[in-house]
Structure 1
């Protein structure tokens, strides 16, 4: 594998796992009050567009890491909306 792809996978992995602690906290506390809805919607949309861009270029580091990041941020967004309705 090319050096650029390895760098892409490492960078994507680090930025992806950065969302795991927030997802764990949101799940555990059943609250995402400290997360901005506008930020989550904007970020999730941006990640989706990075995924589309990666597919267009067939750049697998971009595709793989953004699929995972999209799923994580979408889950946080859904939980935020769900938990807001419970209050």
Structure 2
């Protein structure tokens, strides 16, 4: 641990940011898993509803710098392709 007071404060703030960012990353993973769950159950309506919720969270966290915008675009694109396949099969 640092001896300088400002360094101690920085270490505490850094740990606080780390916990917050980890919670946000966990939330992203939860929403993605929810969409994948409904895709596996071939439930188009619930998958689409969950996708819209996930999309909002991903965009918000992308602007905050929690997750890169290209990664967000890749997630949305891949999941939407899978959701559209469900709709075509039904």
Query: TM-score, normalised to structure 2's length?
Result: 0.48
Larger Rg: 2
Q: Report which structure shows greater RCO (CA 8 Å, sep ≥6).
A: 1
Query: TM-score, normalised to structure 1's length?
Result: 0.49
